[in-house]
Amino acid sequence: MTTDMDRHFTMGALVRYTLPSICMVIFMSIYGVVDGLFVSNFAGTTAFAAVNLIMPFIMILATCGSMIGTGGSALVGKTRGEGDDARANALFSEFVIAAAAIGTALAIVGAVFMPTVAQALGASGDMLDLAVAYGRICMISLPCFILQYAFQILFVTAGKPKLGFGVIVVAGVANIVLDALLVGLFGWGVKGAAIATVISEFIGGLVPMVYFLRKNSSYLRLGKPAGDARALGAACVNGSSEMVSGITSSVVSMLYNLQLLAFAGEAGVAAYGVIMYVFMIFSAIYIGFTFACEPLISYQYGARRTNEVSSLLQKSLAFTAIAGAAMFLLAQATAPVVAATFVGYDPELAVLTEHGFRIYSFAFLLMGVNIFASGFFTALNNGKVSAIISFLRTLIFETSTVMLLPLVLGLDGVWMAVDVAEIAALAVSAGFLVALRSAYGYKLRP
């Protein structure tokens, strides 16, 4: 069934509509979580730290998938809202081809420079060898990983969020089963975890490609590309906020690892890895919700229905506030369980992980509004404002806090950095939402 965007969404309808996308992004996040869970319990702390050390670099390379997916989705959705379905399909085809080509080029670059990057991030000895081995194997499926990121957003624009969720579920289950076999049963360590990830990413990237190449019941189909370099550039600029967010988040993760190596050694990096796995799943709720809302907002904006844009904005802000409170309480309640699940074999590491997670989880209260605010302006095809919010939130605020707070508060300053950064970012997000009301005609209150 193809979902109709040309209608009013109640709060319940909006949650139901976004739920497949939320679940889809959660399953995307599970890839890394499952790898970490099996590597930590079956290969040890050094292998676990190696995977966490190189993962930010892999995610930096994959961010162009989010850039093309979000920026392309906004332009395709706006074009459909204007009534030009033929051009929407041509643009969709161009964006998918571009994602595959860029992914191939980045995979080659990543494989060549993997040892240099791992050394720059502080890896040495066994950790260096393990980090390079994991990273180079993952480069095999990087083009599919990038396509997977793009398709998870474009499935929503195509009116098929449930189908997109189904593809990710299959890929996620494959990853879990293969990790259990290759890492748990056969004892292949980080190489087994990387192979499991590669196979699952091939499923997540190639199955949607086959679907859209065939005649289908969605709003979109792969065919002759538009060949419009200006449109591709506009999509990349508009989606740059998501790429900026992904890159800067990974850069910040690298800084966290460097700080934690200095303050707590390998144990600190391992503890941060556990926290980031949970953070990825929790933030996936906000990201999936935002991804699903963006095509709706773009469509209504293209159709010049400002009342519907206002309605979607108001309901989305309410959702992020309620979800934030729920996630914070859940994090506080489950902190001991999370630590025991990943690093229960080391009591001291488990205590360190639980303590850091409790402090870090305050960020869940605010980050949803900041993620949605950036996505909202992407949906309005205002990539500049969207990029400013993302850039300040992750690179400027969090980089500053993670470097400065430990000088005063020690290790607790590392865990608290994200909380202070989200508070500062909330002020920026609120400022733009208020200042640009007249320019776009939306209302913040019902």
Which residue ranges make up each domain of the chain?
11-440
Q: Are 156 and 295 in contact (CB under 8 A)?
A: yes
Q: How many Cα atoms within 13 Å fall on the side-chain side of residue 161?
A: 27
* Structure tokens, 224: 């002759």
pLDDT of residue 46: 86
* Structure tokens, 359: 């402090």
Task: Quote the radius of gyration of the chain (alpha carbons, Å).
Answer: 21
409 CB-near residues (< 8 Å, 6+ apart)? 416
pLDDT of residue 21: 80
* pTM, entire model: 0.71
In the numeric block, the tokens 């793009």 are attached to 150
- Alpha-carbon distance of 371 to 283, in angstroms, equals 9
Q: How many Cα atoms within 13 Å fall on the side-chain side of residue 109?
A: 12
In the numeric block, the tokens 């989705």 are attached to 73
pLDDT of residue 205: 93
Residue ranges in 158-239 assigned as alpha helix (H): 161-179, 189-213, 229-238
pLDDT of residue 36: 75
pLDDT of residue 250: 75
pLDDT of residue 31: 64
Nearest residue to 64 via CA among 26, 22, 109, 120: 109
Nearest residue to 101 via CA among 236, 241, 293: 236
pLDDT of residue 325: 95
pLDDT digit string (tens) for the chain, length 446 residues: 455 667 788 899 899 888 888 887 787 777 667 777 788 788 887 888 888 888 888 988 888 887 888 788 878 888 888 888 899 899 999 999 999 999 999 999 999 999 999 998 888 888 899 999 999 999 999 999 999 988 988 888 888 878 888 898 898 889 889 999 999 899 999 999 999 999 999 999 999 999 999 988 888 899 899 888 888 888 887 777 667 667 777 778 788 888 888 888 878 888 888 888 888 888 889 988 998 888 889 888 888 888 998 999 999 999 999 999 999 999 999 999 989 888 888 888 889 999 999 999 999 999 999 999 998 998 888 878 988 998 898 889 988 998 999 999 998 998 999 999 999 999 999 999 999 998 888 998 87
How close are the terminal C-alpha atoms of the chain, in Å? 31
- The one-letter code for the residue type at 377 is F
pLDDT of residue 312: 92
In the numeric block, the tokens 């909380």 are attached to 419
pLDDT of residue 260: 84
